[in-house]
């Protein structure tokens, strides 16, 4: 451990330390935080962080800013809701309510969402930039209208009561919300580790090459659209994890969960956190959810709005923060953090007790 400390840059050391503290704090979450924070704010942070991580993965390592992640998140939730819930007296009143075994429904929901993601990706893989953005926005809009119009599987009301149908190995999540807390935490850590692993594999390295020099990679013989498609499928898999966690947490899924404002919200989370680093996903989700939860008590002085009218003050505050982030730090909060550490490092080098440069190992 000490050897690692000596070999690592100060920035890496600080980040690892903060990461370790955050992880310990998160692991002790239900003991450390009050019930609302543990079961609402932090679970939401974990699960929306996963969805944002899928977006950031595509952006940071594939050069693709996708607006379809919210749709994929919703598709997973709707599939799970249709497969797992039961109808009849006292049951769920909407959807197909097929009453499958929840574990089978879970696997099928994730697999189907990943397959749909691969299909979406295959269509969008040959476009770049604004065109890619528009195609993925189209996926989002199609999904919203499909769910709203096809009342057989959802309808405007969506499907409710899904959190009563969880796999036996997870147990009752409504009666024991700490279980959902830890399931979400494990899923978030799994997502982070998986992304870090994937980007170091030959596939991940190639994907980064595709991001930076698609023409050169193509001329070297790499199948650029295939790599993009696979990356999109992988991101869909991550979004599906977020989607199933969401329906276990919220109990419901409806077209309103995947509409344009929600799509933009996920993008805002990713931008606030930082589109360049995976860690930004959870940082952005945490900031967004805190603002969402606590800004409603705030009324703009002399402007006469905010306060009780949920949405007015929130949209304004989140809009101002979004603008500030875009203007001051396009890499989001993680970018601010990176620059602060870089500035500290420069000051340290210039001072009388200047330390060795960042990378001293080797």
Partner 1 sequence: MRRSGLRSWHAAALAAVGIAVGVALIGGISTSSAASQAKTVRVAIMTDCKGAFGFGYEPDIGGAEAALARYAHGKAKNKKKPSAGMTGITAGGANIKIVGYGCGNDTVPLAVTETKRLMEQAKADVMIGPLSGDEAVSVANYAKSHPKKTFIIGTAGSQDPTLQIAPKNVFRYHGDGAQWNAGTGEIAYRKLHWRKAAIIMDDYSFGWTSAAGLIADYCAMGGKITKRVFPPLNTTDYAPYIRQLPPPNSVDGYFWVVGGTGTGASLKAYEQAYGKTNPKKFVGNLFFAFLGNFSEVAPRLVGAYVGGFGTSPGLKTKAARAYEGNVAKIFPGLNGGNYADGFVYNYYNAAWALVQGLNKSHGALGAKLQSSLPRTLRPGYQVSGHGVLHLDKNRQAIQDQWPLQIVRKGGKPALTVVGFVPNVTQSFGGLFKKSSPPPGRTQPPCRKLKTPWQGKIRVVKNGVVTKGVIK
Name the minimum Å distance from CB 309 to partner 1. 6
Establish if 347 lies at the interface with partner 1 (CB under 8 A): no
Contacts for 208 with CB less than 8 Å, ≥ 6 apart: 61, 199
Q: Which of residues 37-56 bind partner 1 (CB under 8 A)?
A: 37, 39-41
Q: Which of 138, 293, 299, 316 binds partner 1 (CB under 8 A)?
A: 293
Q: Which two tokens stand for residue 207?
A: 């994907």
Establish if 301 lies at the interface with partner 1 (CB under 8 A): no
Q: Which of 23, 27, 34, 349 binds partner 1 (CB under 8 A)?
A: 34
Q: How many residues bind partner 1 (CB under 8 A)?
A: 59
Q: Which of 98, 101, 149, 343 binds partner 1 (CB under 8 A)?
A: 149
Task: Give the position of tokens 């850590």.
Answer: 189
Residues in the chain: 362
Task: Give the position of tokens 């097929």.
Answer: 98
Q: Please, what is the Cα angle at 318 between 291 and 124, to 5 degrees?
A: 115
How far apart are alpha carbons 105 and 298 in whole angstroms? 42
Name the minimum Å distance from CB 100 to partner 1. 19
20: left (phi over 0), alpha (psi -120 to 50) or beta: alpha
How far apart are alpha carbons 331 and 352 in whole angstroms? 32
Name the minimum Å distance from CB 9 to partner 1. 9
Q: Which helix (H) or strand (E) holds 277?
A: none
In this chain, which stretch among 61-69, 198-206, 256-264, 321-329 interacts with partner 1, using CB under 8 A?
256-264
CA 4 from centre of chain: 30
Name the minimum Å distance from CB 85 to partner 1. 10
Establish if 263 lies at the interface with partner 1 (CB under 8 A): no
CA 79 from centre of chain: 19
Establish if 360 lies at the interface with partner 1 (CB under 8 A): yes
CA 176 from centre of chain: 24
In the chain, the largest separation of any two C-alpha atoms, in whole Å, equals: 77
Name the minimum Å distance from CB 18 to partner 1. 5
User: Site map for partner 1, 188-227, x if CB under 8 A?
Assistant: ----------------------------------------
Q: Using CA atoms in the order 333, 338, 343, 344, what is the torsion angle rounded to 10 degrees? A: 100
Name the minimum Å distance from CB 158 to partner 1. 5
Chain residues in the site for partner 1 (CB under 8 A): 5-6, 10, 13-14, 17-18, 21-22, 25, 31-37, 39-41, 88-94, 148-149, 151, 155-158, 160-161, 163-164, 174-175, 250-252, 254, 256-257, 262, 290, 293-294, 308-311, 344, 353, 355-356, 360
């Amino acid at each position: 451990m000490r050897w690692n400390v000596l070999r690592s840059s100060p920035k890496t050391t600080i980040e690892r330390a903060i990461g370790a503290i955050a992880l310990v704090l998160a692991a002790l979450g239900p003991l450390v935080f009050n019930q609302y924070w543990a079961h609402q704010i932090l679970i939401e942070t974990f699960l929306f962080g996963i969805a944002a991580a899928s977006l950031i993965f595509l952006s940071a390592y594939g050069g693709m800013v996708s607006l379809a992640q919210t749709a994929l998140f919703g598709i997973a939730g709707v599939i799970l809701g249709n497969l797992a819930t039961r109808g009849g007296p006292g049951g769920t009143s909407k959807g197909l309510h097929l009453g499958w075994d929840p574990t089978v429904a879970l696997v099928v929901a994730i697999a189907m969402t990943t397959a749909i993601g691969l299909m979406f990706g295959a269509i969008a893989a040959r476009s770049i930039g604004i065109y890619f953005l528009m195609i993925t926005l189209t996926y989002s809009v199609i999904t919203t209208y499909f769910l709203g119009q096809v009342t057989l599987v959802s309808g405007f009301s969506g499907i409710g009561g899904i959190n009563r149908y969880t796999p036996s190995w997870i147990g009752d999540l409504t009666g024991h919300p700490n279980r959902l807390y830890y399931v979400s935490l494990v899923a978030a850590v799994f997502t982070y580790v998986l992304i870090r692993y994937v980007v170091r594999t030959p596939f991940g390295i190639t994907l980064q090459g595709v991001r930076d020099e698609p023409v050169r990679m193509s001329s070297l013989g790499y199948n650029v659209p295939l790599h993009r498609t696979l990356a999109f499928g992988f991101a869909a898999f991550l979004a599906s994890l977020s989607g199933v966690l969401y329906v276990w947490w919220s109990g419901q899924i409806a077209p309103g969960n995947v509409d344009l404002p929600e799509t933009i919200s996920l993008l805002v989370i990713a931008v606030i956190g930082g589109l360049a680093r995976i860690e930004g996903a959870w940082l952005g989700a945490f900031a967004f959810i805190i603002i969402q939860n606590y800004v409603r008590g705030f009324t703009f002085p002399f402007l006469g709005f905010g306060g009780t009218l949920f949405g007015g003050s929130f949209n304004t505050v989140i809009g101002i923060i979004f603008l500030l982030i875009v203007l001051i730090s396009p890499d989001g909060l993680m970018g601010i953090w990176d620059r602060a550490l870089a500035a500290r490092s420069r000051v340290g080098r210039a001072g009388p007790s200047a330390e060795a440069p960042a990378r001293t190992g080797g």
